[in-house]
């Protein structure tokens, strides 16, 4: 059974003063997330990431399509016994302390008082909140609230964790800790579905990613597959002067960089054989030649550019 199954999900919002115009925030999204996967949900602002997560958590209702969590209809209380959710920029009752808030939320699960206390203590530790467990939430910074949000999402040891922009508002140490936490969840066999703008985090953490643009799915797959394509070669050449590499310049993808008798040139794959024939002689000597792989950022930008221009994305499936 898939951890999360999304099928033909669309969401229209009525906009305008008289709410007569329809705005399609999500357009026939279909996705399947397997158990134990760390799945990244990427896309620019307004792409429909939060809309999808809100449908999965029952905060909004789809115009069409279905979504299930471990076979249970998304948004139903039964689904939340197995899923935890961190909203984007979370806000909690600021008159409570983290300990009170977690105890309040824990009471919605079928737990004994002892188990409830054990879980609260455990997630306070995991989120690094043990020292501030008695401080009112109104005195918390954005990053600290994010930690509280993560703590409440994993409070009941869910099999599936949905995180909306979990790194948002965190400092580098906080980001590192959240990354570690996601890796811990993965090691424990949990499914993690998270949206993010931070591509390096997605690249470091995700088994698979999906890219959404203007409500449509424009790319999905394993990162290793998506980034397998080469973007050319990176060559370093020994040369006596900048003028000596002039014949190579037309072949380069970017202007060559000359520094201290060496020159770095980026060569597209189709120009490689001509480049190799030209870079021997006239004082030139090839020092190194390495294939350049596409980064997630390159892929992300390329996919968005392709969809904006109406072309089919190269590696989307």
Partner 1 sequence: MNSAQTLTIVRNTFREAVRDRVLYNLIAFALIMIASALLFGEISIGIQKTILLNIGLSSISVFGLLIAIFLGIGLVYKEMDKRSLYALLSKPIRRSQFIVGKFLGLNFTILVNTAFMSLGLWAALFYLTRGFEPQDIYIWEAIYFILLQLSLVIALCLFFSCFSTPVLSAVFTFVAYVIGNLASDIRTFGELTENPLLGALTTGIYYMLPNFSNFNVSSWVAHGNPVEGSVILWNTLYALCYDAILVTASVWIFSRKDLK
Instruction: Find out whether 290 and 234 touch, Cβ atoms under 8 Å.
Output: yes
CA distance 184 to 172: 18
Which position among 39, 41, 85, 233 is part of the footprint of partner 1 (CB under 8 A)?
85
Can you tell me which of 34, 104, 183, 214 binds partner 1, judged by CB under 8 A? 104
Q: Nearer to partner 1 by C-beta: 75 or 313?
A: 75
41 near partner 1, rule: CB under 8 A: no
Cβ of residue 65: shortest distance to partner 1, in angstroms? 15
Residue 58 has, within 13 A of its CA and on its CB side, a CA count of: 14
Please check whether residue 32 is in contact with residue 5, taking contact to mean a CB–CB distance below 8 angstroms: yes
What is the side-by-side order of every strand in the sheet holding 191-196?
83-86, 160-164, 191-196, 38-42, 208-213, 216-222
Among 28, 109, 111, 117, binds partner 1 (CB under 8 A): 109
Does 23 interact with partner 1 (rule: CB under 8 A)?
A: no
Query: Considering the complex, what minimum distance in angstroms separates the CB of residue 304 from partner 1?
Result: 25
Q: Is the Cβ–Cβ distance between 249 and 228 less than 8 Å? A: no
Here's the x/- map for partner 1, 126-165, by CB under 8 A: it reads as -----------------------x--x---------x---
Task: Yes or no: say if 33 and 1 are a contact pair by the CB < 8 Å rule.
Answer: no
Helix (H) or strand (E) holding 302: helix 296-308
Q: Does 61 bind partner 1 (CB under 8 A)?
A: yes
Residues 60, 53: Cα–Cα separation, whole Å = 9
Q: For partner 1, which residue of 49, 54, 175, 186 counts as binding (CB under 8 A)?
A: 54
Tokens 């989307």 appear where?
Answer: 316
Binding residue (CB under 8 A) for partner 1 from 78, 282, 297, 308: 78
Task: Indicate whether 16 belongs to the interface with partner 1 (CB under 8 A).
Answer: no
Which one of 21, 22, 71, 93 is in contact with partner 1 (CB under 8 A)? 93
Instruction: Choose between 33 and 56: whose C-beta lies nearer to partner 1.
Output: 56
Contact between 41 and 61 under an 8 Å Cβ cutoff? The reply is: no
- Contact between 195 and 163 under an 8 Å Cβ cutoff? The reply is yes
Cβ atoms of residues 118 and 42 within 8 Å: no
Instruction: Please list the alpha-helical segments (H only) found in 29-140.
Output: 49-56, 77-80, 98-106, 113-126
Q: Minimum CB separation from partner 1 for residue 63, in Å?
A: 10
Distance in Å, CB of 93 to partner 1, minimum: 6
Nearer to partner 1, 58 or 128 (CB): 58
* Tokens found for residue 227: 């980034």
Query: Which residue in the set 87, 169, 215, 256 belongs to the binding site for partner 1 (CB under 8 A)?
Result: 87
Q: Is 179 in the site for partner 1 (CB under 8 A)?
A: no
Give residues in contact with partner 1 (CB under 8 A).
Answer: 13, 54, 57-61, 77-78, 80-81, 83-85, 87, 89-93, 95-96, 104-105, 107-109, 149, 152, 162
């Amino acid at each position: 059974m898939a951890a999360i199954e999304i099928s033909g999900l669309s969401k229209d919002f009525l906009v305008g003063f008289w709410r007569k115009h329809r705005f399609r925030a999500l357009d026939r999204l279909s996705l399947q997330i397997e158990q134990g996967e760390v799945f990244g949900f990427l896309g620019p602002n307004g792409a429909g990431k939060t809309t999808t997560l809100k449908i999965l958590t029952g905060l909004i209702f789809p115009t069409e399509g279905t979504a299930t969590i471990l076979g249970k209809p998304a948004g139903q209380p039964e689904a939340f016994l197995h899923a935890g959710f961190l909203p984007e920029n979370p806000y909690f009752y600021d008159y409570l302390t983290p300990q009170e808030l977690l105890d309040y939320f824990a009471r919605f699960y079928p737990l004994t008082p002892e188990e409830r206390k054990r879980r609260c203590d455990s997630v306070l530790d995991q989120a690094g909140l043990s020292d501030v467990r008695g401080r009112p939430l109104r005195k918390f910074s954005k990053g600290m609230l994010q930690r509280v949000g993560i703590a409440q999402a994993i409070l009941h040891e869910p099999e599936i964790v949905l995180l909306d922009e979990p790194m948002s508002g965190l400092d580098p140490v906080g980001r590192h800790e959240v990354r570690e936490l996601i890796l811990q969840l993965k090691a424990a066999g949990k499914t993690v579905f998270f949206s993010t703008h931070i591509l390096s985090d997605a690249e470091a953490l995700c088994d698979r990613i999906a890219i959404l643009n203007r409500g449509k799915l424009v790319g999905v797959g394993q990162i290793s597959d998506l980034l397998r394509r080469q973007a050319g070669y990176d060559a370093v050449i020994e040369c006596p002067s900048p003028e000596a590499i002039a014949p190579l310049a037309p072949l380069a993808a970017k202007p060559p960089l000359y520094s201290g008798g060496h020159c770095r040139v980026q060569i597209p794959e189709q120009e490689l054989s001509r480049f190799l024939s030209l870079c021997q002689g006239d004082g030139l000597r090839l020092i190194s030649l390495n294939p350049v792989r596409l980064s997630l950022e390159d892929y992300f930008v390329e996919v968005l550019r392709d969809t904006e221009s109406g072309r089919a994305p190269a590696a989307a499936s």
